[in-house]
Amino acid sequence: MDDIDRILDAAPVIPVLVIDRLADALPIAEALVAGGLPVLEVTLRTPAALDAIRAMTAVPGAIVGAGTVLDPAQLDAARDAGAAFIVSPGLTEPLGRAAIESGLPFLPGTANAGDVMRARDLGLTRLKFFPAMAAGGLPALSALASVFGGMRFCPTGGITQESAPEWLAHPAVACVGGSWLVPRGPVDPVAIEERARAAAALPRA
């Protein structure tokens, strides 16, 4: 099983994916992995998402997880589809406890000090910072990181290839997440691989 640090350290960027057509799952995963981004977060926001996770796990080198996991039932469905990790936009106690019990690496969303304290109470120290830009951007993350030593963050929400470097330069930032790698609409594997290559080359602290 993949440990959460192994997932966060695998690449500077986790592509956040909204898959509308199951047929797009393989070409998207192959292009991202070929470009150097092995960790793929498939959001459970579309009817095709669980089947997309199933399909993508067949791609050599891909580490496929589920995003937008909102409750324990969705966590179970993601695990049954083969998700190697779980990401949520926020943290509830039922989801946190179910995730810990499942043994799956879990990245819960946090946006403020209360959220981080709830995570800490559950023993969770690897956190998504979401929605990163709307929740105050890098100054907010820096303030949280200075209070909560030992926490590592994956900021997500409003981050771009252009803004990623300043986030990645912060010592508490393990990696960033973003949807810019795969825009919705017709899939262009060449363009996806090109964007992945640029993202994979971003330096980290």
List residues with catalytic annotation.
41, 128
Q: Which is nearer to ligand ELE, 36 or 65 (CB)?
A: 65
Instruction: Examine residue 158 and tell whether it contacts ligand ELE (CB under 6 A).
Output: yes
Quick check: 136 binds ligand ELE (CB under 6 A)?
no
x/- track of binding to ligand ELE for residues 2-41 (CB under 6 A):
--------------x-------------------------
Q: How far is the CB of 16 from ligand ELE (least distance, A)?
A: 4
How far lies 127's CA from each of 48, 51, 86, 95, in Å? 26, 26, 11, 14
Question: With the C-alpha atoms ordered 130, 177, 104, 57, is the resulting torsion angle positive or negative?
Answer: positive
Q: Return all residues near 60 (Cβ < 8 A) that are at least 6 apart.
A: 33
User: In whole angstroms, how close is the CB of 107 to ligand ELE at the nearest point?
Assistant: 9
Beta bridge partners of 106: 86
CA distances from 32 to 15, 97, 167, 170, 184 (A): 8, 32, 21, 25, 15
**Which residues lie below 8 Å from residue 152, measured CB to CB, with a gap of 6+?**
5, 8, 125, 126, 127, 172, 173, 174
Stretch of residues binding ligand ELE (CB under 6 A), selected from 3-11, 84-92, 137-145, 190-198: 84-92
**Closest distance between ligand ELE and the C-beta of residue 27, in Å?**
20
Q: Are 31 and 59 in contact (CB under 8 A)?
A: no
Min. distance of Cβ 137 from ligand ELE in angstroms?
12
Q: Single out the residue of 36, 38, 67, 108 in contact with ligand ELE (rule: CB under 6 A).
A: 67
Stretch that binds ligand ELE, among 57-65, 153-161, 183-191, 193-201 (CB under 6 A): 153-161
